[in-house]
Amino acid sequence: MHINRRALLGTAAAAAATSLPLVRARAEAPSLKIGVLTDLSGPYKDLAGPQAIQAVYQALEDYGAAAKGLKVEVISADHQNKPDVGAGIARQWYDREGVDIIVEVANSGVALAVAGVAKEKNKVYINSGAATSDLTGANCNGNTIHWAYDTYMLAKSTGGALAKAGGDSWFFITADYAFGHALQRDTTGFIEASGGKVVGSIAYPFPGTTDFSSMLLQAQNSGAKVLGISNAGTDTINTIKQAKEFGITMTLAGLLLFISDVHALGLETAQGIVLTDSFYWDMNDRTRAFSARLQKKFPSGRPTMVDAGVYSSTLHWLKVAGDAGVPFMKGSGTEVVARLKAMPTDDDCFGQGIIRADGRKIHPSYLWKIKKPSESKGPWDYYAPVSFTPADQAFRPLAAGGCPLVKA
Amino acid sequence: MNTTIWGFSRPQVVALLVMIALFVVAPMVVYPVFLMKVLCFALFACAFNLLIGYAGLLSFGHSAYFGMGCYLAAYGAKHWGLSAELCVLLGGSVAAVMGLVFGAIAIRRQGIYFSMITLALAQFTYFICTQMSFTGGEDGIQQVPRPAVLGLLPLDNDMAIYWMVVGVFLLGFFGIFRIIHSPFGQVLKAIRENEQRAISLGYRVEQYKLMAFVLSTFIAGAAGGMKSLVFGIATLSDVTWQASGTIVLTTLLGGLGTIFGPVVGAVIVNTLEFYLAPFGSWVTITQGVIFVACVMVFRRGVIGELGAKLKVAL
């Protein structure tokens, strides 16, 4: 075949012309990007971590993002429970990777740091994993939403609801640092408001305490009905294990305990503990359906309330993205968050809910008691319901948080 | 080899120029906030190296000074509205005062006992930080503003603060270099090589050690202060003993007792931490493997081995 120069140039021009619209079409539908910043190596790995990442994919699937023509990418990273590492990643994601929203972020210190970055960069940040109620209190901002739970919800449900349900005299074992004391103080307030009383408490050095025997014996001798375990993570696990070994007969109240911790402890040890969760996989048909779907992606566990929060918040954000379009979602973070707050939420995990002006997601909280091994019918059948706090009372009243956004 | 410029040998001048050139070029390629973190830890490692590399003192609690520098600079910026350079100076000064007290206690013992005392005092500092209200406990001091330099030059732009960090780093780097090459530094090296002989020559060894300790803690505190301004937070993770351990690793990896070693070490350690973050627990595993490989294969560290190959002191 004879090819002259003109023909060659002609084909080249034609090729260039045909490829142009393709390029433009791609530029017209830029993809959204979700960053899952979580603990992939430390103490919160099992309550969030890999399962939370799968929960994001589940939300994409359930929303049908691909079918609706919404291109969404998901990236994830390990914050190593270091606020500076977390803030560094968040900064880089917002600045360079084109991340539009960061979700999860267990660990209060990291969570607060990321909230600062989201505000500075005017992006969106929905936290599910952190406990601190400061995220919607003194440190709230117009770029941050706090989803699954917070310390106020835990203290009110475990303290208040348990005191009403008969656990009216308490003894606290408290980790001697700000978080432990805050948890004890808040819970005490609810116990007393419900007519209960705190007969005593003991603070132990944090971190590094592994032997809780003397404190447990003091607690037992105090005659209180309930032992409040005002600490977190491995300290909680150790306290519970040793309470079992010493045959403590009080009701144990875990103030920050997740189903993954219960699974790690085993029912034999954990039975009888009372705890608060805003989500339990076996709560109703919708939660069971959600858990069954997620289980296909992550067979080894069941979703915690953090995973549920990640799913629920991602789904809500996707719904708004579907309505508002990609350019809006890539624009001002405060406007996107205002739109997220304006729309009521509804999903399989938490049912119907709203997001308040201070960024607090509102839903009921539930008080659970861990089943005896004989009552458990199958794997992960751990919780039996005790009572619940309706959505409008579960969280701190809007005016009491001291959030600057609420003044107006 | 004998010609020197301000005490820098010719290969060192070349290395220095390469380093400065990299500082200029790097932000166009690499994320500036990451570079600033590297520089803060590089300065911290240089300060640590001043003690271990030139005075032979292994302080296993250097994060206490770095972390306190972080807290004080953050507190100054957030609650007192100090300007940027005052925050950094405040961080350094408080760390130096701590260094004076802790150093005075620790230098009474040698070798492993010295290390253990510094570790104990650092843990003591950690405990204070978890308990005191001004540090914010577990949450740390959050959302620290970036004040202007001298109240004039705003630092809100990442590149603006980058140049300030580069400036402070170079100041610290030159400072350490001058210390090492001053008569004072020579005495330090003599103490490192043979403390008994230094005493017999009439040097008051303890005072020299204490001075080196205070200088090192001042620079470590200033590095910490810069870090808290860059990231806008000061938290417990900077006062943990793990942070002290990381800085030992950083210095060993780069090359003990070399000028550029700690800088290279900081680049390697922080790059691993940063780029392995998506792989979760691989960060700590990789750090461990590298540490073992370093101790087994190249004991003098990257720069130490390189210098030995080229037969120059870097």
**Chain A: nearest CA to B170, how far in angstroms?**
23
Query: Does residue A33 sit at the B interface (CB-CB below 8 Å)?
Result: no
Interstrand relation of A226-230 and A197-204 (parallel, antiparallel or unpaired): unpaired
Secondary element (H or E) of residue B4: strand B4-5
A-B CB pairs within 8 A amount to 105
Shared domain check, A372 and A321: no
Shared domain check, A163 and A257: yes
**Chain A: nearest CA to B60, how far in angstroms?**
19
Residue ranges for chain B with pLDDT beneath 50: 1
The chain B residue lying nearest A37, using CA atoms, is: B278
Among the partner-chain residues B138, B235, B280, the one whose CB lies closest to the CB of A84 is: B235
The chain B residue lying nearest A53, using CA atoms, is: B278
Tens of pLDDT, residue by residue over A219-274, are 999 999 999 999 887 889 899 999 999 999 899 999 889 999 999 999 999 999 99
Tens of pLDDT, residue by residue over A171-192, are 999 988 777 888 898 899 999 9
Q: Tell me, yes or no, whether A42 lies in a domain.
A: yes
What is the average pLDDT across A48-75? Answer: 93
How far is residue A109's CA from residue A22's CA, in Å, rounded to a whole number?
45
Shared domain check, A237 and A163: yes
Q: Mapped to the 3 state alphabet, what secondary structure does chain A carry?
A: CCCCHHHHHHHHHHHHHHHHHHHHHHHHCCCEEEEEEECCCCCCCCCCHHHHHHHHHHHHHHHCCCCCCCCEEEEEEECCCCHHHHHHHHHHHHHHHCCCEEEECCCHHHHHHHHHHHHHHCCEEEECCCCCHHHHCCCCCCCEEECCCCHHHHHHHHHHHHHHCCCCEEEEEEECCHHHHHHHHHHHHHHHHCCCEEEEEEEECCCCCCCCHHHHHHHHHCCCCEEEEECCHHHHHHHHHHHHHCCCCCEEEECCCCHHHHHHHCHHHHCCCEEEECCCCCCCHHHHHHHHHHHHHCCCCCCCHHHHHHHHHHHHHHHHHHHHCHHHHCCCHHHHHHHHHHCCEEECCCEEEEECCCCEEECCEEEEEECCCCCCCCCCCCEEEEEEECHHHHCCCHHHHCCHHHCC
Tens of pLDDT, residue by residue over A362-397, are 999 999 999 999 999 988 999 999 998 999 999 999
Shared domain check, A268 and A167: yes
Give the pLDDT score at A2: 52
Residue B268, both tokens: 């390697």
Task: State how far the alpha carbon of B168 is from the alpha carbons of A222, B237, B286, in Å.
Answer: 58, 23, 31
Shared domain check, A289 and A192: no
Give the pLDDT score at B272: 85
Which residues of chain A lie closer than 8 angstroms to B238, CB-CB? 84
Give the pLDDT score at A134: 87
Asked: is B4-310 a CATH 1.25.40 domain? The reply is no
Give the pLDDT score at A41: 80
Domain spans of chain B? 4-310
Closest CA to B189 of B115, B245, B265, B256: B256
ipTM, two decimals:
0.74
Domain total of chain A: 2
Which of A19-33, A271-285, B104-118 has the least mean pLDDT?
A19-33
- Indicate if the pLDDT at residue A408 is higher than 60: no
The chain B residue lying nearest A134, using CA atoms, is: B139
Q: Do A82 and B235 touch (CB under 8 A)?
A: yes
Which residues of chain B lie closer than 8 angstroms to A92, CB-CB? 31, 33-34
Task: Judge contact between A238 and A212, C-beta under 8 A.
Answer: yes
Give the pLDDT score at B188: 94
- Indicate if the pLDDT at residue A142 is higher than 60: yes
Give the pLDDT score at B63: 95
Q: Do B37 and A75 touch (CB under 8 A)?
A: no
**Chain A: nearest CA to B203, how far in angstroms?**
42
Which residues of chain B lie closer than 8 angstroms to A41, CB-CB? 280-281, 283-284
Tens of pLDDT, residue by residue over B146-200, are 888 887 788 888 889 999 999 999 999 999 999 999 999 999 999 999 999 999 9
Tens of pLDDT, residue by residue over B108-158, are 998 899 999 999 999 999 989 988 888 887 778 888 888 888 877 888 888
Task: State how far the alpha carbon of A178 is from the alpha carbons of A204, B75, B138, in Å.
Answer: 12, 18, 7
Q: Do B237 and A178 touch (CB under 8 A)?
A: no
Interface test with A, best of B28, B66, B143 (most A CBs within 10 A): B143
Shared domain check, A385 and A317: no
Q: What SS3 class is residue B237?
A: helix
Shared domain check, A197 and A92: no
**Chain A: nearest CA to B94, how far in angstroms?**
22
Residue for token digits 């990291």? A110
Interface test with A, best of B233, B241, B242 (most A CBs within 10 A): B233
Q: What SS3 class is residue B151?
A: coil
Q: How confident is the model at residue A340 (pLDDT cuts 50, 70, 90)?
A: very high
Query: What is the total residue count of chain A?
Result: 408
Q: Tell me, yes or no, whether A7 lies in a domain.
A: no
Q: Tell me, yes or no, whether A204 lies in a domain.
A: yes
Q: Tell me, yes or no, whether A60 lies in a domain.
A: yes
Shared domain check, A166 and A83: no
Instruction: Give percent of chain A above pLDDT 70.
Output: 92
Shared domain check, A123 and A138: yes
Shared domain check, A380 and A252: yes
Which of A3-17, A147-161, B124-138, B172-186 has the least mean pLDDT?
A3-17
Q: The dihedral of CA A186, A191, A195, A197: what is its sign? A: negative
**Chain B residues near any Cβ of chain A (below 8 Å):** 31, 33-34, 37, 127, 130-131, 133, 136-140, 142-143, 158, 227, 231-233, 235-238, 273-274, 277-281, 283-284
Buried/exposed B233-253: b ≥16 CB within 10 Å, e otherwise: bbbbbbbbeebbbbbbbbbbb
Shared domain check, A169 and A94: no
Q: Tell me, yes or no, whether A13 lies in a domain.
A: no
Query: Does residue A149 sit at the B interface (CB-CB below 8 Å)?
Result: no
Structural domain boundaries, residue A342:
32-149+283-363
Give the pLDDT score at B291: 80
Q: Tell me, yes or no, whether A122 lies in a domain.
A: yes
pTM, 2 dp: 0.81
How far is residue B189's CA from residue B201's CA, in Å, rounded to a whole number?
14
Task: Judge contact between B106 and B44, C-beta under 8 A.
Answer: no
Closest CA to B95 of B253, B214, B263, B183: B214
Domain with residue A65: its CATH number is 3.40.50.2300
Give the pLDDT score at A25: 42
Give the pLDDT score at A215: 93
Q: Do A108 and B139 touch (CB under 8 A)?
A: yes
Among the partner-chain residues A41, A119, A205, the one whose CB lies closest to the CB of B280 is: A41
Shared domain check, A124 and A192: no
Interface test with B, best of A44, A84, A93, A117 (most B CBs within 10 A): A84
Q: How confident is the model at residue A127 (pLDDT cuts 50, 70, 90)?
A: very high
* Chain A residues 74-93 with CB within 8 Å of chain B: 75-85, 87-89, 91-92
Residue A123, both tokens: 């992006």
Determine the Cα angle at B118 with ends B117 and B120, to 5°.
65
Which of A270-284, A287-301, B284-298 has the least mean pLDDT?
B284-298
